[in-house]
Amino acid sequence: MNLLSFVSALMIPLLTLYVIGYGLLRKKDCYEIFVRGAKEGVHTALEILPTLIGLMTAVSVLRASGFLEAFSEKLGIFTGYIGLPAQLVPLCVVRLFSNSAAVGLLTDLYARYGTDSVIGYTASLIMCCTETLFYTMSLYLMHVGIRKSRFVLPGAMLSVLAGIAASIWLGRMV
């Protein structure tokens, strides 16, 4: 395990040196390219900031209003039949919108049920096997300027459902 830790600690510095070395060998102005990329990154961050604020506000309103818990209780009746405990429904819903809010819910689940419980293990798998779907779609589609997303949402929802199904299946193996 020490070798893995050593290689992991060196990975970013070695990659940085490789990129700079490659740029110098190609006789490129690495600093100018870096500054131009940083300017574009700041511009991109300013473009997506309203979307980020809107998504975070919506998730906060859902959690604070109690709607998420009420929705989860009603939906939990049906999800129990497929093996998804009602306690994990809020995590599945919030994960679609916000990773940071989902991590907060995950921490609450760990505190209540433990990390080694079936719920804790399945919740961890859900976090690993799913994506912040609406967050990712809104950022990337808006940034690129795509107006007709066509099959992006159905395909992405199918992948999230497959991730949740895999999490449920693997969570039962504990």
* Domain contains 20: no
The answer as to whether 33 is a domain residue is no
Structure tokens at 22: 């490659």
* Residue 51 placed within a domain: yes
Q: What is the pLDDT of residues 113-140, one digit of tens each?
A: 999 999 999 999 999 999 988 878 877 7
CA-closest candidate to residue 91, choices 174, 172, 168, 170: 168
| Domain contains 93 | yes
| Pair 137, 148: CB distance under 8 Å | no
Give the domain extent around 100: 45-171
Residue-level pLDDT at 1:
61
pLDDT of 137 = 84
Q: Is the pLDDT of residue 86 over 80?
A: yes
Residue 28 lies in a domain: no
* Residue 17 domain flag: no
With contact defined as beta carbons under 8 Å apart, do 159 and 131 qualify?
A: yes
Instruction: Determine, yes or no, domain membership for 5.
Output: no
What pLDDT is stored for residue 119 in this prediction? 93
What pLDDT, in 10s, does the model give residues 41-60? 899 888 878 877 887 788 77
In a domain, 23, yes or no: no
| Distance from C-alpha of 122 to C-alpha of 129, rounded to nearest angstrom | 10
| pLDDT level of residue 94 (50, 70, 90 thresholds) | confident
